[in-house]
Structure 1
């Protein structure tokens, strides 16, 4: 029996992850955890999901709960709870109020699900990954932030649609901060096995415009519909499925670094990592050109400073 718990299941991301994960049929039980005052809403969500899942003969147990005892035995505990980002708001503006929530939940996970993997989706996710790591006391391999996984998927999608080619032919990655200081690894991007720098000679492709679009993707969606929803939910459920099925895929997630890449340490950043049912198996070395390296170190310094500020405010 594989159990996954979602803390913050009444939010847009939390409930969509639950439904997407149930449809994947890789989990036997999903605990949809909420505050006591939201429990009836969560129950309503589960009733609605059960009706939909019945159409596909999917048998996944959905457990509405506000009792931490129900997360006992979870393979993965996802933290999505927090103040949502509004139009024009920087992710780092959410840091202090959301850090209080992530700290509390991480402490409870350590108490009730000490053998689980903590997956952090709350923004700013890189800062929150370090907060969850320190509050839980877990080994760094078992605390993972969603990081640049969605950013990498978005960039892959942009290239695919711009040049009208199947997305499976696009191999690209975004590292660094999940925010303004994200670093698209264009120097190692390939399309159909051809390095991007050669491919652009034959197609009409505005790389600068694509990168700007990528950095503003979240705000663009929020400005038009109020919240990001399907992209994050599918990216997160894919990450969870990859972990629990032990497929050892290389995904760009937020990991606490101890000098593995460019000697950067004491900060959580999005980097390529082999993920498994044990968490992070290894951080994959990456090649960056001079500009990418400079931007990666800038991202590290920005996120580290923000993390220190939050930790000082929370006295941890």
Structure 2
């Protein structure tokens, strides 16, 4: 199994490390910054004798080194900064994602693509368009992370282990998020038996603002430990064919076409051909 992580920033490097340490396959860590993916990959490989990891991880600046990957995880692009709007992020990251998609189509046949870069719903649709992959091969990572945050906040409020909480959040990040509190349970019992309606609404709001809360605390950069764990969950389920059921964003048009077209107009219609 060959797994390529595109983008060697905090999310990408941490994701590559988690996948590599799980021995899920050989990992390619790609970034355009010369030396950065190579240095991080070498640092990880030097820990192999201590961790007992048999897989390899290689850093590169050449996309052709990612050729014939079974799975691509796209984390490249700018991280969200305090005060940055959805449109700001789109304008900066869409061109990057478009170039990555073109390279995937060029160097690999029928891979699975997990999109992490934000705004994830729009970029998932854009990458699906550019790669021309079947709709079940391109997915955006959002719900797994947001569901984990919702579960943690519920568990923290009740003072119980997070593993005892089951909950699902659909949709994209932020205002597009759709938490499903009526399906959230603690050992099979609805959280409505333990928490007031007002408290549940507070936890939903905190879940919606989960990423922004971390951005505000960090002052620079955004979350990467929880996102990388969510990506690992998806990758491991795919590699091991665990038949897991996870919320993910499809690479289809769901109120994203206007934003994609806005970006296409700004960067010229040739980008979408």
| Same structural fold, with TM-score higher than 0.5 when normalized by the shorter chain | yes
Equivalent residues in 2 for 1:9-28, closer than 5 Å: 9=8, 11-27=9-25
- Name stretches of at least 5 consecutive residues in structure 1 with no aligned partner: 258-265, 268-300
Say if 2:45 is the partner of 1:50: yes
8 A contact 2:4–2:72 mirrored in 1: yes
Superposition misfits of 4+ residues, deviation over 4 angstroms: none
8 A contact 1:106–1:135 mirrored in 2: yes
Give the alignment partner of residue 307 of structure 1, picking from 235, 238, 260: 260
Could you tell me how far 1:205 is from its partner in structure 2? 7.5
Partner of 1:263: none
Say if 2:103 is the partner of 1:103: no
Could you tell me how far 1:151 is from its partner in structure 2? 0.5
Equivalent residues in 2 for 1:184-203, closer than 5 Å: 184-200=179-195
8 A contact 2:39–2:59 mirrored in 1: no
Could you tell me how far 1:91 is from its partner in structure 2? 3.4
8 A contact 1:46–1:62 mirrored in 2: yes
Partner of 1:137: 132
Q: Structure 1 residues 178-187 or 303-312, which shifts more?
A: 303-312
Which SS does the other structure have where 2:139 is aligned? strand
Partner of 1:151: 146
Partner of 1:234: 229
Whose strand proportion is higher, 1 or 2?
1
Partner of 1:41: 36
Whose helix proportion is higher, 1 or 2?
2
Hey, what's the Cα distance between the residues in 2 that align with 1:174 and 1:222? Answer: 21
Partner of 1:217: 210
Which SS does the other structure have where 2:246 is aligned? strand
8 A contact 2:115–2:123 mirrored in 1: yes
CA pair 140-311 structure 1, distance change in 2 beyond 3 A: farther
Count residues with an aligned counterpart.
267
Give per-residue Cα distances to partners, 1:177-220, cap 9 Å, x unaligned: 2222211111222222112323336xx98112211211111121
Give per-residue Cα distances to partners, 1:53-112, cap 9 Å, x unaligned: 321111221111122221122110111111211013233421122111111111110110
Partner of 1:250: 245
